């Protein structure tokens, strides 16, 4: 076996594992959106948590778009287009999705505090902070990778022009 063939197999294997992980996460969140959230929203026991559960639906839209962009990035890697303008755009979209999700969760935090105080459930407020923070970290990491890939694309274009 040639070394390039081995490299292709290794790269395809690693992207396949990442692709499967992304699809698994997407299926879990989709199952929650289809089964668990409606059951919680329409339950008589949901009480003050109904609006919070509805808010989770709103955040699912940018979440699934970010997952789609992550799958697109893996396709670019498989096609040896990792350092391309398409990758920069995908990271930009993921960054914006992370920012949107973080802002949506942050906007809902006053209501979460109210419900947590009313039910004496500080864990609910802590979970809200975790969701805001995790989304912000993902947005920051995507912004960093976007900048790095953009620099690599610029260097690549500059080198192509000098040849």
pLDDT tens, 32-45? 999 988 888 777 77
Q: Is 79 helix (H, G, I), strand (E, B) or coil?
A: coil
Rounded mean pLDDT, 83-100: 96
Per the listing, tokens 């960093």 go with 144
Token pair, residue 40, equals: 């919680």
Q: Residue 163's pLDDT is what?
A: 58
pLDDT of residue 4: 67
Asked if residue 66 has pLDDT above 70, the reply is yes
pLDDT(89) > 60: yes
Q: Which residues contact 22 (CB under 8 A, 6 or more apart)?
A: 67, 70, 71, 74
Residue 71: which domain range? Answer: 3-162
Residue percentage of the chain with pLDDT more than 70: 91
Residues 88, 153: contact at Cβ < 8 Å? yes
Please report the pLDDT score of residue 10 as a whole number.
60
- pLDDT for res 47: 73
Q: Which of 48, 135, 128, 141 is nearest to 91 (CA)?
A: 141
105 pLDDT tier (thresholds 50, 70, 90): very high
Q: Would you call 75 helix, strand, or coil by DSSP?
A: helix
Report the pLDDT averaged over residues 103-128. Answer: 88
70: its two tokens: 């992550």
Mean pLDDT of 49-59: 86
Per-residue pLDDT, 69: 98
Look at 18 and 120; give whichever has higher pLDDT.
18
**pTM recorded for the entire structure:** 0.85
Asked if the model's pLDDT at residue 79 lies above 60, the reply is yes
Predicted pLDDT of residue 6? 64
- Per the structure, how many domains does the chain have? 1
């Amino acid at each position: 076996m040639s070394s390039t063939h081995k490299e292709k197999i290794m790269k395809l294997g690693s992207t396949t594992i990442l692709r499967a992980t992304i699809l698994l996460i997407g299926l879990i969140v989709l199952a929650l959106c289809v089964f668990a959230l409606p059951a919680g929203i329409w339950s008589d026991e949901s009480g003050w948590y109904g609006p919070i559960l509805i808010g989770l639906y709103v955040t699912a839209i940018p979440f699934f778009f970010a997952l789609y962009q992550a799958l697109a990035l893996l396709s670019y890697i498989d096609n040896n287009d990792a350092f391309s303008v398409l990758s920069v755009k995908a990271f930009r979209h993921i960054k914006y999705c992370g920012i949107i999700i973080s802002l949506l969760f942050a906007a809902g935090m006053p209501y979460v505090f109210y419900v947590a105080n009313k039910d004496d459930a500080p864990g609910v407020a802590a979970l809200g902070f975790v969701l805001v923070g995790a989304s912000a970290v993902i947005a920051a990491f995507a912004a960093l990778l976007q900048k790095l890939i953009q620099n690599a694309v610029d260097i690549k274009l500059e080198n192509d022009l000098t040849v």
